[in-house]
């Protein structure tokens, strides 16, 4: 197996619960106790109401394909190992995520349902990706 050379997240105090959950193959997002909205990416305060009463909640992993692109010529050679699908997924809980879709482009359509899967790219790191539902 070849070495994994792509950029990896460097979790911070704020973001570590997200990546720890991914490693357990769970999608967890912060939810604001004050205004009841889910948020992504992780923050110290709710971007909607500025409350710091944020708790981690497990999410369904269901969403829709908000948009996608097939990257043929990446900006860095770290991703030059073939075209890949970069996407924005809108989660059932509301927030959108930047992610990848594991499916050929001709099977993709904007707003189609997608479901989460967990890609253990290294022994230490799991990325949150999606596939057609």
Partner 1 sequence: MSLKGKAAAIGIGELKPYREPTDDSALDLMAAVAAEAIADAGLEKKDIDGLLVGMASADPGMIYPSAIGELFDLRPRMLNVLDIGGASGAGMIWRAAAAIDAGMCRAVLCLTADLNRMGRRRPPMISLMYEFEAPYGAIGANCSYALIAQRHMAKYGTRPEQMAKVAVDQRRNALANPLAFFNDTPLTIDDVLNSRYICEPLHLFEIVSPMSGGAAVVVASPEVALRSKHSPVWLIGAGEGSDRCSVSYAPDITESAVKGAADAAFKMAGVDRKDIDLVCPYDCYTITVLVTLEDAGFCKKGQGGPFAMDHDLTFSGDFPCNTHGGQLSFGQPGLAGGMSHVTEGIRQLMGRGEQRQVRNARLAYVNGNGGIMSEQVSLILERVS
Q: Which residues bind partner 1 (CB under 8 A)?
A: 6-12, 15, 40-41, 66-76, 79, 84, 86-88, 96-100, 105, 109-111, 121, 127, 129
Task: Spell out the residues 6+ positions from residue 75 whose beta carbon is closer than 8 angstroms to its own.
Answer: none
Least separation in angstroms between CB 84 and partner 1:
6
Least separation in angstroms between CB 31 and partner 1:
17
Nearer of residues 68 and 93 to partner 1, judged by Cβ: 68
Least separation in angstroms between CB 64 and partner 1:
12
Asked if residues 69 and 86 have their Cβ atoms less than 8 Å apart, the reply is: yes
What secondary structure does DSSP assign to 95-129, as a single string?
-EEEEEB-S-GGG--TT-EEEEEEEE-SSS-EEEE
Q: Are strands 113-120 and 54-58 parallel, antiparallel or unpaired?
A: unpaired
Nearer of residues 97 and 114 to partner 1, judged by Cβ: 97
């Amino acid at each position: 197996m070849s070495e994994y050379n792509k950029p990896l997240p460097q979790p911070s105090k704020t973001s570590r619960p997200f990546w720890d959950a991914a490693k357990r193959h769970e999608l967890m997002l912060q939810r604001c106790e004050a205004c009841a909205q889910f948020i992504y990416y992780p923050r110290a305060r709710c971007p909607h109401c500025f409350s710091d009463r944020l708790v981690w909640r497990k999410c369904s992993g269901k969403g829709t394909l908000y948009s996608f692109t097939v990257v043929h010529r990446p900006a860095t050679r770290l991703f030059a190992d073939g075209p890949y699908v970069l996407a924005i997924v809108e989660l059932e809980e509301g927030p959108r995520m930047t992610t990848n879709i594991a499916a050929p482009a001709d099977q993709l359509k904007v707003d189609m349902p997608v479901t989460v899967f967990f890609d253990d790219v290294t022994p230490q790191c799991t990325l949150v990706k999606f596939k057609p539902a």
